[in-house]
Structure 1
Amino acid sequence: MIRLAACQYAIELHKTWDAYVDHLQRLCAEAVQDGAQLLLLPEYAGLVLSGLLREEQRGDLKGSIAGIQPLIEPWKALCERIARRWGIYLQPGSLPVQDSDGRYRNRAWLFGPDGVLGYQDKLIMTRFEREQWDIAPGEGLKVFETKLGKLGILICYDNEFPMLARHLAEAGADLILAPSCTDTEAGYNRVRIGAQARALENQIAVLQSPTVGLAPWSPALDENIGRAGLFVPPDHGMPADGVVALSDQLNPVGSQWLMCEVDLEAVRRVRQEGQVFTRRDWPEQFGRML
């Protein structure tokens, strides 16, 4: 059994580096004290670093992502220290990173007890990212080997595309981390429904963490809504609706952790002993139909 923590992460203004460090350390300490082995924060959680910029720069859509670039390496070092200190796995959400080609990509790192395990870029951009923000898609999908099992990361919109999760499942991932950032209830539900569908299709687990709250100081993260959740295939030994855990409130005041547990061996067992074999039957059936 693995104990997981998915954060409903409130976008708050931290005007100094020390204030941000104190915030992130205290937040992670709460989950660790409750026994969490893996902590997940949402898409663009790292963009709260723009609060450290001058007011006019943090209020500028493109200027804010340019301004946080010098802060990314110190931020990564902070996340690594937190993971090493408590011997946990930490996916601290994502943030826009400028690559050597000059383009920005929405990147999510994974940290473990022994340091940085790597990163996953978002592959499919939303209209906002593509048309207003000029965020470029990444390339490729990764499976991370951990002591808890094999993990994959699909950032927000990527969870709405079946073949991405299918690729991770076929590469051995038993748990997909789904950091998300949505500004409407409809947007949240699109990602949640996608996450549940991916769990059903591939007979795996999916953990979702959203941004919440209002941040008028940030043109990118001004409105946020969503629930944290853990989803599995609805089958023998699993919840009848496939929902292991779901945050009580859609838009709480302040950041809150959803603490939950999953037995990945039990999830894997569904693939062999379940009422249905969606994971197996997909390639068999589609191969004949197409």
Structure 2
Amino acid sequence: LTSYTDRFKEFMRDLAVRFNVNIIGGSHPTMVDSGDVQNISYVFLRDGSIHQQVKLHPTPNEKRWWNIKGGTELNPIPTDCGLIGVLICYDSEFPETARHLVNQGVRILFVPFCTDERQSFMRVRYCAHARAVENQIYVVMAGNIGNLPNVENMDIQYAQSCILTPCDFPFARDGIAADTTPNVEMIAVADLNLDTLSVARNDGTVQNLRDRRFDLYEVRWKL
């Protein structure tokens, strides 16, 4: 797949410009200058610019089957809709990563994922929703479905894409702004108001960000 990187990036950039949209393009195995292969999510903006986020935590299977190496940087991506963050699949299962992005102003987190069965999917979904609750942000999950019977370690897929919110009065009672049918190719659509996040953070039933105990703990990024 690494041989398709340039074509993939050109194709997705053209789509973003042609249709005047911002696209979080899943993730793609990419050969980097060091010769290592990294799992990278490319973000294609409507102005033609391309940004990227490298997966920090390769799964045991990614290391074993594809020798994927983890990245070292995690930064917000500036868009015309504000700062966004991307955590690829397994990265969303580490609370420190989302908090690092939120501390830099991110209010919408995108989680592209690839899981092979329901247990794996639910692990990512539960963690993604926890990130929405504890950081009072929106989290958008998008996964792939279908079967690739001739591709080893990618033969089956399970996904249920969704748009998640905090669980409080300004939002849907279950914290789900939009959902899809499991393992069905669908599009989830929701209007997300960033001002509503401010209401929740300042006047919500609980105020997770405001009530943090900095006298007891902190998230400190080393690089």
Pair in the same fold by TM > 0.5: yes
Match runs of 1:175-186 below 5 Å: 175-186=108-119
Partners of 2:164 and 2:88 lie apart in 1 by 16
Say which structure, 1 or 2, has more relative contact order (CA 8 Å, 6+ apart).
1
Aligned residue number for residue 80 of structure 2: 147
Out of 155, 176, 181, which is 1:243 matched to?
176
SS in 2 for 1:212: coil
Structure 1 unaligned runs (5+)?
Answer: 1-67
Identity value in percent: 31
Deviation at 1:132, TM superposition (A): 2.5
Partners of 1:228 and 1:268 lie apart in 2 by 25
Aligned residue number for residue 108 of structure 1: 41
Q: 1:192 to 1:69 in 2, by over 3 A?
A: same
Partners of 1:281 and 1:232 lie apart in 2 by 19
Out of 214, 219, 223, which is 1:284 matched to?
214
Which structure's residues are more often strand, by fraction?
A: 1
* AA in 2 matched with 1:101: S
Out of 183, 194, 197, which is 1:267 matched to?
197
Deviation at 1:225, TM superposition (A): 0.4
Partners of 1:285 and 1:236 lie apart in 2 by 29
Deviation at 1:278, TM superposition (A): 0.8
Deviation at 1:146, TM superposition (A): 1.2
Partners of 1:92 and 1:179 lie apart in 2 by 8
Partners of 2:64 and 2:89 lie apart in 1 by 17
**Cα contact 2:117–2:158 (8 A) shared by 1:** yes
**Cα contact 2:13–2:50 (8 A) shared by 1:** no
Partners of 1:74 and 1:181 lie apart in 2 by 21
Partners of 2:53 and 2:170 lie apart in 1 by 31
Structure 1 runs (4+) greater than 6 angstroms displaced:
none
Aligned residue number for residue 64 of structure 2: 131
Match runs of 1:40-119 below 5 Å: 68-119=1-52
| Aligned-residue RMSD, C-alpha | 1.5
Which structure's residues are more often helix, by fraction?
A: 1
TM-score w.r.t. the length of structure 1 is: 0.72
Partners of 2:65 and 2:17 lie apart in 1 by 37
